[in-house]
């Protein structure tokens, strides 16, 4: 499946695949901005590469979770109204307005005027409920995997056992929020390399690795970890705001 990814910032990616336009984890507030929530304050450092008005007509929004502003901020929430939103079961209850909650391994068929995609939710582990997504066109063997905010843990190995993954958009950053402890709540490069091996993905597009002050590892650390694992040839970095073409059924274009 030929797929065009436009990396907008943090975990926000415009995906053109199977004739449909999808948007992941919309965050479009201006930066820098502080987001105080009880005992936790998150701070954005870099704003999005595109504005909401720059987007094409969207067929759906894939929301890995709704509770953190680096994945869904005020401007991002404004985009949800009247659109198909696939998210966690608990997130769908909170959002209402027709949001569709998917449990891990549940599949939803998205159909638009120009095509159809099968979207399967995948498990994740984060500070709160989270899912990832597998996208596959009917009849295709290989899928595009979007990790959502998660660390690597054993259950993610089931993704590669259940599905053939040609390419993956992985959320990195090695995020640390002291309120939740000192452990990472998103992957670092070493975890991402392990997941890449488990998936068997031929192409990995890193996202969610800069732009917020709770991210502790950026591009250099990710590259170093993948080089150490002899997987650096699978990395395909997407320039912000610039369409990047990948192919889930073979080497990157």
* CATH number of the domain to which 114 belongs: 3.60.15.10
What value does the mean pLDDT of the chain take?
A: 95
Residues 165 and 199 sit within 8 Å (Cβ to Cβ): yes
101 occurs within a structural domain: yes
Q: Is residue 198 part of a domain?
A: yes
- Do the domain assignments include residue 7? yes
146 within a domain of the structure (yes/no): yes
Is 16 a member of any domain?
Answer: yes
Asked whether residue 252 is assigned to any structural domain, the reply reads no
* pTM for the whole structure: 0.96
- At residue 28, φ and ψ (nearest 5 deg) are -130, 10
Q: Is residue 179 part of a domain?
A: yes
Neighbouring-strand partners of residue 37: 40
Q: What are 186-197's pLDDT values in tens digits? A: 999 999 999 999
User: What range does the domain containing 32 cover?
Assistant: 2-247
Does 38 reside within a domain?
Answer: yes
CA 253 to chain centre: 20
250 band by pLDDT with thresholds 50, 70 and 90 = low
What is the pLDDT confidence band of residue 38, given thresholds at 50, 70 and 90?
Answer: confident
Q: Tally the domains of the chain.
A: 1
Quote the pLDDT of residue 37: 84
CA-to-CA separations, 113 to 19, 62, 84, 103, 210, in angstroms, rounded: 8, 18, 14, 26, 35
Q: Residues of 96-116 as b/e, b for ≥16 C-beta within 10 angstroms? A: eeebbbbebeeebebebeeee
Q: Percent of the chain scored above 90 by pLDDT?
A: 92
């Amino acid at each position: 499946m030929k797929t065009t990814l436009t990396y907008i910032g943090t975990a926000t990616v415009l995906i053109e695949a199977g004739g449909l336009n999808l948007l992941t984890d919309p965050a479009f507030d201006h930066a820098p901005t502080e987001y105080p929530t009880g005992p936790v304050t998150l701070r954005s450092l870099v704003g999005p590469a595109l504005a909401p008005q720059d987007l094409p007509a969207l067929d759906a929004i894939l929301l890995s979770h709704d509770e953190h502003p680096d994945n869904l901020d005020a401007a991002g929430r404004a985009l949800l109204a009247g659109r198909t939103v696939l998210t966690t079961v608990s997130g769908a209850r909170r959002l209402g307005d027709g949001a569709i909650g998917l449990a891990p391994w549940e599949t939803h068929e998205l159909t638009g005027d120009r095509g159809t995609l099968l979207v399967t939710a995948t498990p994740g582990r984060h500070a709160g409920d989270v899912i990832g997504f597998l996208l596959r066109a009917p009849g295709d063997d290989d899928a595009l995997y979007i990790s959502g905010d998660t660390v690597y843990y054993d259950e993610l190995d089931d993704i590669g056992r259940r599905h053939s993954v040609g390419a993956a958009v992985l959320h990195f950053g090695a995020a640390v929020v002291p309120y939740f402890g000192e452990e990472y709540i998103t992957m670092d490069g070493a975890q991402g390399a392990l997941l890449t091996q488990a998936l068997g993905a031929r192409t990995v597009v890193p996202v969610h690795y800069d732009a917020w002050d709770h991210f502790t590892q950026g591009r250099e650390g990710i590259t170093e970890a993948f080089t150490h694992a002899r997987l650096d040839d699978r990395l395909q970095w997407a320039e912000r705001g610039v369409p990047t073409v990948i192919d889930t059924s073979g080497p990157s274009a």
